[in-house]
Amino acid sequence: MKFSLPSSKRLIFTLMISVGALVACTTPSQQNHLQRIIDTGVLKVGTQFGRSTYYNGATGPEGFEYELAAGFADYLGVRLEVFAYYNLGELFPQVQNGHIDLVAAGISMTPERQQQYRFGPAYQDVSQKLVFKQGADRPRRVEDLTGELIVVAESSHAETLRSHQSELSSLNWRETENMDPEELLELVATGELDYTIADSNILAVMRRRYPDLSIGFTIAPEQGVAWMLSDDHNDALLAALVEYFGIIQNNGQLAALEDKYFGHIRQFNYVDTREFIKAAKTVLPEYKALFQAYAQDLDWRLIAAMSYQESHWDPRAKSPTGVRGMMMLTLATAKDWDVTSRLDAEQSIRGGAEYFASLLRRIPDRIEAPDRIWLAMAAYNIGLGHLEDARVLTQRYGGNPDMWIDVKQHLPLLRQKKHYRTTRYGYARGDEAVTYVDNIRRYYDTLVWLDENPEQLEQPASIEATD
């Protein structure tokens, strides 16, 4: 996430003007905080370890909050320094005592917190869900909770429970500093814990790994998620946050980043997720070496996820339109990539991987990953010509043709005559291409998790009947 940055003096001047009277009400020591960040050249951000916040990936630091923070540091023209903590009880005091400049950890703006801290602009909305294991008696209200309930200490979930306890004195729960929300959800999924509470965005991610996680009820309605500052932080730093989030909101980068981490998991299909995990344990091992051999510079798990979407890893799969095999190749594509038998698993995987790689090469070089990957994937489904038509429509209607989040909003227009008659290649089932890409992204996420947690592959893969 890069920005054209003004000089430090001009930046501060711009921010001061934008908040006008606000800044005039602050003390000199408060107004100097943003200047100190710029003078030292370092933005100190506190966060928590987690897949949607901050973690060390294969190529370096990753996570939704990390990428947002890196963008803000770029905006200020300073270096980002991340301080990751294991629990909120350790993290929150660090911003109050000035050891860090702000907290970027998916923090909900609860009433209790807003009395103690200041918050930047809300960039997400999440609700709190009471979670139980599929097959157990479903609780539909707080009064139905009869088993063990554990939440993270100092969390918004603990705050919610305290508010309910004033109405239901028999409500009991435990708070833990030794486990994070993902670990508590794992305990519920394995039957070791009856209930926990999770934010809706984190739960959506975890249900791709543990489909038996079920929602009992919404225990707290949507709340904004924002970065947190100490209650005596200056308005100049807050103004910088407002401007930064305004910029990435207007140029689409915030929406693209949100889509990267959460956009493809909003829809949840219990049966499909269970079937996929079962196939990953029982069918994929037979073909894993082929995916690894022919993926070349691509992630083999991505090619495997595409293959599952195409054929459910059935080498003899056939569609009514005549495409066949593990990668569902047309006769023309098979001929182009020297596939003599589309029903031969090895040939199909090789041909499909090479064809997808060729599509990636034909996406303009200026488009970076992951957008170029999702665009090439859509082209695999509907053809490069139809993808280019969708990109033209995207630009025509004010979107960014180089961003997947904008293009996927316009792909469905290729089904409407008033739109496709103005394109070069005409009608296409563009909405199906959107579903196609989103499904593969979900399968890919699950494969990455299974690959990084091999003990999960050793667990039983049978699917029991559920209510």
Give domain status of residue 407, yes or no.
yes
Between 8 and 84, the higher pLDDT residue: 84
Q: Specify the pLDDT at position 59.
A: 74
21-27: average pLDDT: 45
Predicted confidence (pLDDT) at residue 22 exceeds the cutoff of 60? no
**pLDDT band per the 50, 70, 90 thresholds, residue 49:** confident
Predicted confidence (pLDDT) at residue 263 exceeds the cutoff of 90? no
Give domain status of residue 149, yes or no.
yes
Between 320 and 456, the higher pLDDT residue: 320
Q: Assess whether 310 carries a catalytic annotation.
A: yes
Same domain? 396 vs 274: yes
* Nearest one of 404, 392, 122, 105 to 253, comparing CA atoms: 404
Give domain status of residue 1, yes or no.
no
Number of separate domains in the chain: 3
Same domain? 102 vs 157: no
Predicted confidence (pLDDT) at residue 13 exceeds the cutoff of 60? no
Q: Which residues contact 465 (CB under 8 A, 6 or more apart)?
A: none
Going by their DSSP bridges, the two strands 124-133 and 213-225 should be labelled as antiparallel
Q: Specify the pLDDT at position 254.
A: 92
Taking each helix axis from N to C terminus, what angle separates 384-396 and 430-452, rounded to the nearest 10 degrees?
Answer: 110
Going by their DSSP bridges, the two strands 196-199 and 124-133 should be labelled as antiparallel
Give domain status of residue 303, yes or no.
yes
Say how many C-beta atoms besides its own lie within 10 A of residue 455's C-beta: 7
Q: What is the pLDDT of residues 311-332, one digit of tens each?
A: 999 999 998 888 999 999 999 9
163-183: average pLDDT: 88
Give domain status of residue 348, yes or no.
yes
Same domain? 151 vs 233: no
Same domain? 116 vs 131: no
Q: Specify the CATH number for the domain of residue 365.
A: 1.10.530.10
Give domain status of residue 463, yes or no.
no
91-117: average pLDDT: 91
Between 65 and 51, the higher pLDDT residue: 65
Same domain? 289 vs 332: yes
**pLDDT band per the 50, 70, 90 thresholds, residue 8:** very low
Q: Specify the pLDDT at position 100.
A: 94
Same domain? 290 vs 330: yes
Predicted confidence (pLDDT) at residue 14 exceeds the cutoff of 50? no
Same domain? 116 vs 153: no
Q: Considering the chain, what percentage of its residues have pLDDT values greater than 90? A: 69
Helix, strand and coil in the chain, % to nearest 5: 50, 15, 35
- Of 167, 197, 224, which residue is a domain's last? 224
Q: Specify the CATH number for the domain of residue 243.
A: 3.40.190.10
Same domain? 421 vs 291: yes
138-165: average pLDDT: 93
Q: Specify the pLDDT at position 459.
A: 64
Same domain? 208 vs 136: yes
**pLDDT band per the 50, 70, 90 thresholds, residue 233:** low
Q: Specify the pLDDT at position 232.
A: 74
Same domain? 212 vs 238: no
Q: What is the pLDDT of residues 400-434, one digit of tens each?
A: 999 999 999 999 999 999 999 999 999 999 999 99
144-163: average pLDDT: 93
Same domain? 275 vs 405: yes
Q: What is the pLDDT of residues 241-254, one digit of tens each?
A: 999 999 999 998 99
Which structural domain range is residue 157 located in? 125-224
Give domain status of residue 38, yes or no.
yes
Predicted confidence (pLDDT) at residue 347 exceeds the cutoff of 60? yes
Predicted confidence (pLDDT) at residue 465 exceeds the cutoff of 50? no
Predicted confidence (pLDDT) at residue 395 exceeds the cutoff of 50? yes
Query: What's the mean per-residue pLDDT of the chain?
Result: 88
Between 255 and 461, the higher pLDDT residue: 255
Same domain? 285 vs 255: no
Give domain status of residue 113, yes or no.
yes
Counts of helices then strands in the chain (DSSP H, E): 21, 12
Selecting among 310, 346, 455, 458, the annotated active-site residue is: 310
**Cα dihedral 329→332→336→341 (10° resolution):** 50
